[in-house]
Chain A
Amino acid sequence: MNELALLVAATLSAGTPLAVAAMGLLINERAGVLNLGAEGTMLVAAVAGFGVAWLTGNEWAAMAAGALAGALVSLVFGWLVIWLNTNQYATGLAISLFGSGFSAFVGIDLVGKPLALTAPLALPLLRDLPFLGVAVFRQHLMVYLAMALTGGVAWFLYRTRAGLVLRAIGESPTSAHALGYPVRLIRLAAVLVGGALCGVAGAYLSVVYTPLWVEGMVAGRGWIALALTVFATWRPARLLLGAYLFGGVTMLQMFLQAQGVQVAAQLMSMLPYLATVLVLVLISRNPAWIRLNMPASLGKPFFPGL
């Protein structure tokens, strides 16, 4: 029973960076901008966050630095795709490649540097609950923030006027423009928020989760976050579940090994990716699921003059 609680705890913790990054990308995509640069953005933020954590010893300053770095990278991306109307796919890939190279370059002196470690937050009273105490209430604050963020994004998108405008721009930027909304500025704001959230996720990985900096340490999690937005059909709550599911499958394979269950390690390593493919296939089988929720202008450039 206790092992199971620990597995749940590990799942929440592994799913958190995915959820935060994917939530940022979801906001981007709801505004009609597809940012394939997530992986590179996270790497730049991871190195920035780690550098600040190493200098200041303050993990929240590090997260802020990660958010700032993520926003800066996506500012470049946003300017390119929103004002210069470059192809979103190609630009995103370029940003991703740039980010992984750039982070490796600036991070050379940080490789292998030790970081003072922070203990996970344990909520008083709740931490002593049977099962749930271990499973849920002894996590890093970021885990709870990610849950709150999910609620916040859902509320924003579906219960506020600003959220409605954002979604309208994702559906039909021309109509929103005709109504007088500053489409480009709002898209840029969405891109910046998205980049900042990817940045927080990257900094969380290098400062709290692992914590160390090495080249390419995000190890594909940016791409998984991108897949998660499709997986969740652009719905915040599904996104959080998807992130936990993905984190859970990864942890499960290690859990089974550590428990001495006979499984082929190579097969188990494939599982998270198989699960992604499977879900993508299932979703694609029902076009309505995607069409209903997919922002209609996703990935398309917008020219206000036309």
Chain B
Amino acid sequence: MNHRTFLKHLALGALALATGLTACGKKEAPPAPAPAAAPAPPPKPAPLKIGFIYVGPTGDAGWTFAHDEGRKAAVAKYGDKVTTTFVEKVPEGPDAERVVRDLVAQGNKLIFATSFGFMDAMVKVAKDHPEVRFEHATGYKTTENLRVYEARFYEGAYLAGIVAGKTTKSNTLGFVASFPIPEVVRNINAFTLGAQSVNPKVKTKVVWVSSWFDPPKETEAAQQLMDGGADVLLQNTDSTAVLQAAERRGKYAFGWDSDMSAFAPKAHLGSCALNWAVYYEKAFGEALDGTWKTEVTKWGVKENMVNLVKVADFVPADVKALVEKATAGLKDGSVAVFKGPLKDSAGKEVLAKDVVADDAWKGAINFYVKGVEGKVPSSK
């Protein structure tokens, strides 16, 4: 979710310039409709007040939806011991800090922010309010009372890759990518490696759309990939457009962030879904019993935070078995997504034999693995 809104605004700025209408400030101005408050459980003696800040609408069927489902599950677990509030569609920018401060002023003692761009706002407010605990998704800055959590989403992409590698007839996969940052490049590579683990002939084509969310453009990219021969698609963008484009053309695709099977019953092979509930339950519990301490959490398939869900009924049983085997392997540590020997797309060895990549390696990844066509746009 890195830089999401910032880049979007850059793009909008360019657009406004290009059309000679800079003054209009197209989408900047419309204020989000009044933040909706979650229905709180009936007030009991001093429940713990918890606030959430979302970057998108809870109905986006993707990233924010997944976080909100996690929040609901955690609320269900702790019942009237907690009461939660959320503010949706908070732009990443100066407004974010105001929203965080509002939540503090309302008496929230534990505050979650679920997008990378909220990082500096969180750091600032955390310094001013040592009595409040802060949690930031996908960031990397921690303080005494601010900790970070993240999902190993590439493990989901790897599992999707296994299904893709077995499903493709043209041995060409397509990936609709947003911005060339390590998070996205990692997912492209993991998807390809998953496919290659069951079908060595597979190659992946990538189209960058320079947006997290532009459904018409995502559709166009998907169509171009299918025109280019790809018959199984995955996207690291936030709408269901790619899935629906595949449905229209009789090709296959995956859901991303949450279960998207309803959007394309024929094309949907499975969804790389995030289950934030496991983390929110843990965090709520720690805040309630006082064991909360600052740390960095990165969870994946092993902790049940990342999963390939709703694998389609028409996927053959032996492919499902392969997915289950890889899932089990990721859980017990016998399977690692990035493990040597590994070569980049130029043929250079990037991981020596039997070396398993560490988090620093994965955090700095800016090359395609062998089998992905082309070069990462940001790389030299």
Residues on A facing B (Cβ under 8 Å): 3, 6-7, 10, 14, 36, 39, 93, 96-97, 100-101, 104-105, 108-109, 111-112, 114-115, 117, 119, 205, 209-212, 214-217, 219-221, 223-224, 226-227, 250-251, 254-255, 257-260, 262, 264-266, 269-270, 272-274, 276-277, 280
Asked if residues B262 and A255 are in contact (CB atoms below 8 Å), the reply is: no
Q: Which residue of B lies closest to A280 (CB)?
A: B20
Given A111-B57, A209-B216: A254 and B224 within 8 A (CB)?
A: yes
- Separation in Å of the A207 CB from the closest CB of chain B? 12
- Separation in Å of the A48 CB from the closest CB of chain B? 17
A104 CB contact (under 8 Å) in B30, B60, B377: B30
Asked if residues A36 and B14 are in contact (CB atoms below 8 Å), the reply is: no
Enumerate chain A residues within 8 angstroms of B220, measured Cβ to Cβ. Answer: 10, 14, 250-251, 254
| Cβ < 8 Å to A, chain B residues 206-228 | 206-210, 213-217, 219-221, 223-225, 227-228
What are 11 of the A-B contact pairs (CB < 8 Å)? A211-B244, A215-B57, A217-B215, A223-B16, A223-B26, A254-B207, A258-B205, A258-B221, A262-B374, A269-B209, A273-B18
Asked if residues A117 and B244 are in contact (CB atoms below 8 Å), the reply is: yes
Distance, CA A280 to CA B29, complexed state (A): 26
Distance, CA A254 to CA B18, complexed state (A): 20
- Since A104-B33, A108-B57, A266-B208 are in contact, a sample of 4 more A-B pairs with Cβ atoms closer than 8 Å, ordered by chain A residue number, is A255-B228, A257-B205, A258-B205, A258-B225
Enumerate chain B residues within 8 angstroms of A93, measured Cβ to Cβ. Answer: 23-24
Distance, CA A250 to CA B27, complexed state (A): 21
Asked if residues A224 and B19 are in contact (CB atoms below 8 Å), the reply is: yes
Asked if residues A254 and B221 are in contact (CB atoms below 8 Å), the reply is: yes
Asked if residues A251 and B244 are in contact (CB atoms below 8 Å), the reply is: no
Q: Does B188 contact A (CB under 8 A)?
A: no
Distance, CA A149 to CA B24, complexed state (A): 29
Asked if residues B15 and A223 are in contact (CB atoms below 8 Å), the reply is: yes
Enumerate chain B residues within 8 angstroms of A205, measured Cβ to Cβ. Answer: 216
Given A111-B60, A210-B219, A251-B224: A260 and B373 within 8 A (CB)?
A: yes
Most buried by A among B20, B174, B206, B225: B20
Q: Does B99 contact A (CB under 8 A)?
A: no
Q: Does B59 contact A (CB under 8 A)?
A: yes
Asked if residues B30 and A269 are in contact (CB atoms below 8 Å), the reply is: no
Task: In the A-B complex, list the 7 residue pairs whose CB atoms are closest, starting with the nearest.
Answer: A273-B18, A265-B208, A112-B61, A258-B228, A101-B30, A254-B224, A6-B227
Distance, CA A97 to CA B28, complexed state (A): 9
Per-residue CB contact flags for chain B residues 163-206 toward chain A (1 = under 8 Å, else 0) read 00000000000100000100000000000000000000000011
Enumerate chain B residues within 8 angstroms of A39, measured Cβ to Cβ. Answer: 26
| Cβ < 8 Å to A, chain B residues 11-57 | 11-12, 14-21, 23-24, 26-27, 29-31, 33, 57
Enumerate chain A residues within 8 angstroms of B209, measured Cβ to Cβ. Answer: 254, 265, 269
Q: Does B292 contact A (CB under 8 A)?
A: no
Distance, CA A270 to CA B210, complexed state (A): 10
Given A117-B248, A227-B20: A266 and B210 within 8 A (CB)?
A: yes
- Separation in Å of the A211 CB from the closest CB of chain B? 7
Q: Does B263 contact A (CB under 8 A)?
A: yes
Enumerate chain A residues within 8 angstroms of B217, measured Cβ to Cβ. Answer: 219, 250
Enumerate chain B residues within 8 angstroms of A276, measured Cβ to Cβ. Answer: 18-19
Asked if residues B174 and A114 are in contact (CB atoms below 8 Å), the reply is: no
Count A-B contacts at CB 8 Å.
159
- Separation in Å of the B49 CB from the closest CB of chain A? 26
Asked if residues B374 and A260 are in contact (CB atoms below 8 Å), the reply is: yes
Q: Which residue of A lies closest to B12 (CB)?
A: A220
- Separation in Å of the A231 CB from the closest CB of chain B? 10
Q: Which residue of A lies closest to B208 (CB)?
A: A265
Most buried by B among A114, A211, A224, A280: A114
Given A108-B59, A276-B19: A220 and B180 within 8 A (CB)?
A: no
Given A112-B240, A214-B215: A36 and B21 within 8 A (CB)?
A: yes
Enumerate chain A residues within 8 angstroms of B247, measured Cβ to Cβ. Answer: 117
Q: Which residue of A lies closest to B205 (CB)?
A: A258
Distance, CA A115 to CA B30, complexed state (A): 27
Asked if residues A265 and B180 are in contact (CB atoms below 8 Å), the reply is: yes
Distance, CA A254 to CA B241, complexed state (A): 16
Most buried by A among B210, B213, B224, B373: B224
B213 CB contact (under 8 Å) in A3, A109, A214, A257: A214
| Cβ < 8 Å to A, chain B residues 334-380 | 373-375, 377
Given A101-B31, A210-B241, A226-B19: A257 and B224 within 8 A (CB)?
A: yes
Enumerate chain B residues within 8 angstroms of A254, measured Cβ to Cβ. Answer: 207, 209, 220-221, 224
- Separation in Å of the B33 CB from the closest CB of chain A? 5
Enumerate chain A residues within 8 angstroms of B221, measured Cβ to Cβ. Answer: 254, 257-258
- Separation in Å of the B138 CB from the closest CB of chain A? 22
Given A93-B24, A257-B206, A260-B205: A273 and B29 within 8 A (CB)?
A: no
